Amino acid sequence: MSGVRLLVGTRKGAFVLTADGTRDDWQVEGPLFAGWEIFHLNASPVDQDRLYASQSTGWHGQVVQRSDDGGKTWEPVGNEFAYDGVPVTHQWYDGTQHPWEFARVWHLEPSLTDRDTVFAGVEDAALFRSVDGGQTWQELSGLRDHQTGDQWQPGAGGLCLHTILIHPDDQTRMFVAISAAGAFRTDDSGETWRPINRGLRSGELPDEDKEVGHCVHRIAMNPSRPDVLFMQKHWDVMRSDDGGESWHEVSGNLPSDFGFPIAVHAHEPDTVYVVPIKSDSEHVPPEGKLRVYRSRTGGNEWEALNSGLPQSHCYVNVLRDAMAVDCLDPGGVYFGTTGGQIYASPDGGDRWKAIVRDLPPVLSVEAQTLP
Amino acid sequence: MIRVVLPHHLRTLAGVDGAVSLEAQERPTQRTVLDALEASYPVLRGTIRDHGTAERRAFIRFFACGRDITLDPADDPLPEEVASGAESFRVVGAMAGG
């Protein structure tokens, strides 16, 4: 019987949650790598047992772990992320220039066709690739060498490359997003990159049409329509219909246009999920009510989904990598909170249930659909 | 024999219990002990010293014979008690928080 495996990264370890296709009863395993921050775990789309995990602490830096048995056992692989060439500088919070310094891996994105090829988005923002299962990493430095690189500035969470999307029909095309530089696209397998931020509006930028400087929080796509992109930005939910060439706002009737995650239903490319958060200053759900908002129209028209979610005194956040969808029918949706809850909806968001309530603060959630 | 005591997370990462034993060195220093440690346990590369510079990571400190030797030059000889194995070379996570 088919099933789902959730890969959950937290401030204090990783957890693997599994259920059969009904998604009613869940087995919770963990913590793995207890005490370490696990920013992200992800699975190879071509080998369900090949997993990668980003493990770090402020004391000991970065470790990358790899599993070949679906998370039962793990092996540390390469952890050397050396920037290509002489590190130049980027803009610091106060507008001065600051040297590029590696801090951690935020996001791991395995290749769509090769289990040993995996991309890593890191802080300070750069994109690395491994073609040997994570043993060695090489920077795709055409991104950081873009002429705007010295204008990139960190967001509150750091200068992080947090989103990596691979175009399923043309894998020379990839999209990445950096807080707070913006979105970028390559059409030559990562050799060269260009900003794709036309149409984004960031209220505090003196030049609203500035090529970079936009605090993109997350981008999502449905693989069946990969040139339609949805973005949760620091302000505004945005949509592009042309592979990022231009963007238009689809925040519509959302109670707040601020938030972190965004996800697209696996089978309905116009069904989009966000979790509005009250302002960049407060980072809590509006009115103390945890609500996922769903649009079935590709944006602009949103409905609140609250069945099974706390509707009073709830002040948790949902971080950018902490929402995922499965590929079952009906499609499941999952998210984790900074309060340690993992919520699951097996019916596209109509009903929610907490799989587990008291994990460490959740940093990331990925959903694997198992045959 | 030189004994190295690692903090909890690095013992877990290296898959060791208690102290790590390294082959005796004629004139051990911080650098030679850490070089030998990383050679025996490659998984520890980058977790005590940065990969590129081999500099001590910011939140790591070294102790031996009840003394903080973090800031001693990396090529200075370690105390005789460490060289003989009577005392351990301790890698410690700097305190943070309260």
Residues 36-95 of A with CB under 8 A from B: 36, 57-63, 76, 79-80, 82
d(C-alpha A358, C-alpha A340), whole Å: 5
Strands A272-276, A259-264: pairing is antiparallel
d(C-alpha A124, C-alpha A97), whole Å: 13
pLDDT at B98 over 70: no
Phi, psi of A281 (to 5 degrees): -90, -30
Contact A59 B52 (CB under 8 A): no
The CATH homologous superfamily to which domain B2-93 belongs is Beta-grasp domain (3.10.20.30)
Q: What is the pLDDT of residues B41-55, one digit of tens each?
A: 999 999 999 998 999
SS3 of B35, please?
helix
Under 8 Å between Cβ of A369 and A2: yes
Q: Average pLDDT for residues A352-365, to the nearest whole number?
A: 98
d(C-alpha A247, C-alpha A214), whole Å: 13
Angstroms from B58 CA to nearest CA on chain A: 7
pLDDT at B97 over 80: no
Q: What is the pLDDT of residues A259-289, one digit of tens each?
A: 999 999 999 999 999 999 998 889 999 999 9
Q: Average pLDDT for residues A104-119, to the nearest whole number?
A: 98
Q: Which has the closest alpha carbon to A169: A265, A268, A243?
A: A243
Domains of chain A (ranges, CATH numbers): 3-370 (2.130.10.10)
Q: What is the pLDDT of residues A55-81, one digit of tens each?
A: 999 999 999 999 999 999 999 999 999
Q: What is the pLDDT of residues B12-37, one digit of tens each?
A: 999 999 899 999 999 999 999 999 99
- Closest Cβ–Cβ partner in A35, A36, A82 for B52: A82
* Torsion angle of C-alpha atoms A183, A301, A274, A335, degrees rounded to 10: -140
Contact A79 B45 (CB under 8 A): yes
* Torsion angle of C-alpha atoms A284, A286, A291, A297, degrees rounded to 10: -120
Q: Which has the closest alpha carbon to A282: A306, A314, A249?
A: A314
Contact B51 A82 (CB under 8 A): yes
- Closest Cβ–Cβ partner in A60, A62, A80 for B10: A60
For A63, the token pair is: 């470790």
Contact A59 B13 (CB under 8 A): no
Under 8 Å between Cβ of A9 and A38: yes
Angstroms from B72 CA to nearest CA on chain A: 20
- Closest Cβ–Cβ partner in B9, B51, B52 for A60: B9
Instruction: Find the helix or strand (DSSP H, E) in which B30 lies.
Output: helix B30-40
* Interface contacts A/B by beta carbons within 8 Å: 43
Length of chain B as a residue count: 98
- Encode burial over A128-156: b for 16+ CB neighbours within 10 A, e otherwise: bbbeebbeebebbbbbbebebbeebbbbe
Calculate the average pLDDT of chain A.
Answer: 96
ipTM exceeding 0.90? Answer: yes
Domains of chain B, by residue range, sit at 2-93
> Would you state the pLDDT for residue A145?
92
> Would you state the pLDDT for residue A205?
77
